[in-house]
Amino acid sequence: MKLRPPDLEKISNVTLEHYNQHAEEFWEGTRDHDVSQNVEALLKHIEGEPPFAILDFGCGPGRDLKTFSELGHVAVGLEGSTRLAAMARAYSRCEVWEQDFLKLDLPAGCFDGIFANAALFHVPAQELSRVLRELRATLKARGVLFSSNPHGHNEEGWQHGRYCAFYDLETWRRHMSGAGFVELTYYYRPTGLPREQQPWLAGVWRRVSP
């Protein structure tokens, strides 16, 4: 069923309000997560010499934003939740743009890399290709996008007060390639476990020139 503009507005508003209401709880539950594998996956595929301009898409309270900054990169966060954006600014001391994922306003050709860790699965399937094209446009030529999302069988809907979409690998590949990216690598997380115990699908993608 096609989502109409009022449906999309509700999806954004309700999901963001969930994060606003649970900001402290979310921070306490995620601040110690080790995503160094994901950070390294992005950085090692960016061409050129550091420091890199990095957009932390869906930066939450700023954990990974601070990591990129401490590594010497020029890191900018993007977060839809007002409370999480404020927490990210305070914690990371980086610039954070408060933007709804479905209403992005991004500069063209600005970033060497985009780090979308546990963020894009909140985008409804019918809007995903558009959002990915907008992310592609804010990358420099041959820029790199990292994504990590909980995977599934392409089901979507409301879960615990948030709108979520759980894509399988082939569907995710179709969206990414259709938006102008080529696949560099993918893996499931956490490493070293049976697939049924690896809920996260991660991948690195390069912007196709021009």
Please report which helix (H) or strand (E) contains residue 48, including its range.
Answer: none
Q: Average pLDDT per run of 10 along the chain, which is 210 residues long?
A: 94 97 90 92 97 98 97 98 97 98 98 98 97 98 97 95 96 97 96 90 91
Task: Write down the pLDDT at residue 30.
Answer: 87
Q: Is the pTM of this model over 0.85?
A: yes
Nearest alpha carbon to residue 114 among 184, 156, 44, 55: 55
Task: Using the structure block, give the residue that is written with the tokens 């179709």.
Answer: 174
Q: Which pLDDT belongs to residue 191?
A: 87
Domains in the chain: ranges and CATH: 5-207 (3.40.50.150)
CB-based contact 179:136 (threshold 8 Å): yes
Confidence (pLDDT) at 98: 98
Backbone angles phi, psi at 183, to 5 degrees: -75, 135
The two tokens of residue 153 are 């069988």
Tokens matching residue 67: 């990591």
CA end-to-end span of the chain, whole Å? 34
pLDDT score of 210? 66
pLDDT digits (tens, 9 = 90+) for 78-93: 999 999 999 999 999 9
What does the block give as tokens for 32?
Answer: 């110690």
- Rounded to whole angstroms, what are the CA distances from 7 to 13, 73, 167, 178? 10, 38, 20, 24
The pLDDT of residue 29: 86
